[in-house]
């Protein structure tokens, strides 16, 4: 998973550099123009554009804004100074070949002197940001490694060096009890204790250098990991990749990583795209629909039964973290409302509540959840905490659906698996559809699901009660 803070750092780096080079150009231009009237170039704007363009070319040539560079401060500094030198050479060559006579030699000295000062300030800010982030361990992905061999050690070294994104939690290997490798003072724990450790320490991902043929209980371990919202990936011996059934998901410092399933939303560009769509769409619904609908429904709901207008209930969110899910209250207030799923002809449902549930209007306040960020417009529907605990014990791969933000609507719902789940088979089908969505996400699929939801609502759904 591409870390959002690395992405933010790259954006911060890029914007900071643009500010630094533009300020250096304008300060140098103003400074030299005070003593040299000849400096007043008729091509000032074009020259500033060329100055920016040559910087961008130099920076990208030196791979300054690559993810691997942003992971380590020393890489940022090394490539920054190389980019500055290349920028100076490139811009001087361009000026020499075009309108060199417009500028004094002092101007060219000033401009790069101020650029270096600007970069020193920029890199100080970047370093402070990195040190601040490194201390905020809760925002970094906790990692555990299965196996203790040269590949595992090399991978651990990668995670330790890239502290901006990862927090390495330890090794787990074939051993009956924990022991310390005195060559590097590393604690090695038994594989059997992995999931208990992962649960207690909020480990998000496990990378295994062992395969099912190397560890007889690997498939059981994979199943338990999925039930605990822990992603499991494999690090193979490179010689084993050829003719294998696995696909290379990504690389860590030239170490290939094999994933057990495709997850398009693990890529930060896709997550940004989906989140932007969610924000724009939910704001539109809140401003143009809920702004006038809430006052009307508030009066009707209050007239029909005592209690609040909105109903809040803890539901299972992404990574199985609970969140408060908002709905218009459609039932009378009693102790069963929190735990018992609505059924056909449920006596607790008010007359306005029946209408809202039939038309899905009761779900509209969840657009506030979307705006807050604990839900998406499209995704697996969130279940009550009690139901999550029940289903994960009896439905294989049930917790895989918790790897994604829950949605107001979803692929399972538009495929006929909405509402009350009357038997085990229905829940299995719902989970299968949710996992298919996770593995095949695209923005066009989201739009398709939204349109199907609108069409199904207009037609009237049998399971909406």
CATH number at residue 235: 3.40.50.720
Nearest to 154 by CA among 255, 256, 259, 257: 255
What confidence score (pLDDT) does residue 1 get?
A: 45
For residue 260, give the DSSP letter: S
What confidence score (pLDDT) does residue 167 get?
A: 85
Residue 131 shares a structural domain with residue 151: no
Separation of alpha carbons 118 and 61, rounded Å: 20
pTM value is 0.69
> Per the structure block, which two tokens stand in for 220?
């059981």
What confidence score (pLDDT) does residue 338 get?
A: 54
Residue 33 shares a structural domain with residue 90: yes
* Residue 464 falls inside a structural domain: no
Separation of alpha carbons 324 and 309, rounded Å: 15
Q: How many domains does the chain have?
A: 3
What confidence score (pLDDT) does residue 326 get?
A: 95
Do the Cβ atoms of 160 and 177 come closer than 8 Å?
no
Q: Where are the alpha helices (DSSP H) in 242-290?
A: 268-285
> Per the structure block, which two tokens stand in for 53?
């363009």
| Domain final residue, candidates 103, 135, 167 | 135
* Residue 155 falls inside a structural domain: yes
Instruction: Give residue for tokens 């692929």.
Output: 411
Q: Tens-digit pLDDT profile for the chain (465 aa)?
A: 456 677 778 888 899 899 989 988 888 877 776 666 545 555 677 788 888 999 999 998 888 888 778 777 778 888 888 898 898 888 888 877 776 545 667 777 888 888 888 888 888 887 777 666 666 645 578 899 998 888 888 888 888 877 767 888 999 998 888 888 887 778 889 998 999 999 898 898 999 988 777 778 888 888 888 888 898 888 875 545 434 444 445 556 666 777 777 889 988 889 989 999 999 999 999 999 999 999 999 999 999 888 899 999 999 999 999 999 999 998 887 655 555 665 565 678 888 988 998 888 999 999 999 999 999 999 999 999 998 998 988 888 899 999 999 999 999 999 888 766 667 788 889 999 999 999 999 999 999 999 999 988 888 766 654
| Domain final residue, candidates 66, 100, 135 | 135
Residue 33 shares a structural domain with residue 102: yes
Any idea what the Cα angle at residue 315 is, between residues 299 and 262, rounded to 5°? 130
Separation of alpha carbons 376 and 410, rounded Å: 10
Q: Each residue of 263-279: b (16+ CB within 10 Å) or e? A: bbbbebebbeebbebbe
What confidence score (pLDDT) does residue 447 get?
A: 93
Residue 309 shares a structural domain with residue 413: yes
Residue 228 shares a structural domain with residue 302: no
Residue 98 shares a structural domain with residue 208: no
What confidence score (pLDDT) does residue 138 get?
A: 54
* Residue 465 falls inside a structural domain: no
Residue 120 shares a structural domain with residue 175: no
Report CA dihedral (93, 95, 98, 102) to the nearest 10 degrees: -150
Any idea what the Cα angle at residue 336 is, between residues 374 and 432, rounded to 5°? 50
* Residue 325 falls inside a structural domain: yes
* Residue 419 falls inside a structural domain: yes
For 254: left if phi > 0, alpha if psi spans -120 to 50, otherwise beta; the answer is left
For residue 181, give the DSSP letter: E
99 three-class SS: coil
* Residue 244 falls inside a structural domain: yes
208 three-class SS: strand
Instruction: Give residue for tokens 């996770």.
Output: 438
Separation of alpha carbons 1 and 270, rounded Å: 11
Structural domain including 167 reads 140-260
Do the Cβ atoms of 162 and 130 come closer than 8 Å?
no
Residue 112 shares a structural domain with residue 162: no
Residue 341 shares a structural domain with residue 448: yes
């Amino acid at each position: 998973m591409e870390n959002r803070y690395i992405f933010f750092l790259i954006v911060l780096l890029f914007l900071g550099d643009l500010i630094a080079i533009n300020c250096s150009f304008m300060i140098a231009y103003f400074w030299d123009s005070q003593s040299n009237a000849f400096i007043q170039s008729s091509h000032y704007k074009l020259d500033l554009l060329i100055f920016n363009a040559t910087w961008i070319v130099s920076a990208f040539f030196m791979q300054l804004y690559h993810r691997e560079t942003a992971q380590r401060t020393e890489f940022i500094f090394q490539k920054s100074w190389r980019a500055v030198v290349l920028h100076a050479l490139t811009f001087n060559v361009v000026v020499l070949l075009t309108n060199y006579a417009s500028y004094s030699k002092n101007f060219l000295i000033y401009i790069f002197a101020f650029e270096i000062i600007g970069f020193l300030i920029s890199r100080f800010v970047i370093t402070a940001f990195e040190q601040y982030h490194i201390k905020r361990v809760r925002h970094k992905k906790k990692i555990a490694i299965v196996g203790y061999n040269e590949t595992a050690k090399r991978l651990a070294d990668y995670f330790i060096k890239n502290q901006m994104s990862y927090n390495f939690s330890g090794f787990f290997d074939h051993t009956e009890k924990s022991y310390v490798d005195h060559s590097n003072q590393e604690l090695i724990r038994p594989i059997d204790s992995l999931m208990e450790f992962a649960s207690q320490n909020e480990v998000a991902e496990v990378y295994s250098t062992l395969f099912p043929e190397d560890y007889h209980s690997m498939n059981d371990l994979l199943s338990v990991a999925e039930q605990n919202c822990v992603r499991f990936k494999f690090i193979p011996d490179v010689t084993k990749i050829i003719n294998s059934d696995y696909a290379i998901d990504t690389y860590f410092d030239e170490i290939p990583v094999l994933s057990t399933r495709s997850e398009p939303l693990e890529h930060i560009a896709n997550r940004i795209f989906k989140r932007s769509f969610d924000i724009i769409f939910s704001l539109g619904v809140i401003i143009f629909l809920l702004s006038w609908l809430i006052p009307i429904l508030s009066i009707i709901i209050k007239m029909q039964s005592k209690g609040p207008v909105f109903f809040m209930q803890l539901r299972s969110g992404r990574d199985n973290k609970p969140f408060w899910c908002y709905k218009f209250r459609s039932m009378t207030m009693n102790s069963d409302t929190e735990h018992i799923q609505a059924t056909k002809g449920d006596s607790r449902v008010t007359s306005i509540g029946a209408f809202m549930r039939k038309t899905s209007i009761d779900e509209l306040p969840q657009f506030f959840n979307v705006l807050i960020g604990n839900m998406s417009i499209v995704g697996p529907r969130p279940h009550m905490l009690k139901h999550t605990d029940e289903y994960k014990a009896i439905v294989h791969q049930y917790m895989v659906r918790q790897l994604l933000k829950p949605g107001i609507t979803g692929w399972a719902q538009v495929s006929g698996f909405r509402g009350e789940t009357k038997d085990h088979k229905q829940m299995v089908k719902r989970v299968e559809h949710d996992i298919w969505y996770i593995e095949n996400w695209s923005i066009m699929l989201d739009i398709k699901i939204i349109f199907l939801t609108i069409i199904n609502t207009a037609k009237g759904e049998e399971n909406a009660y």
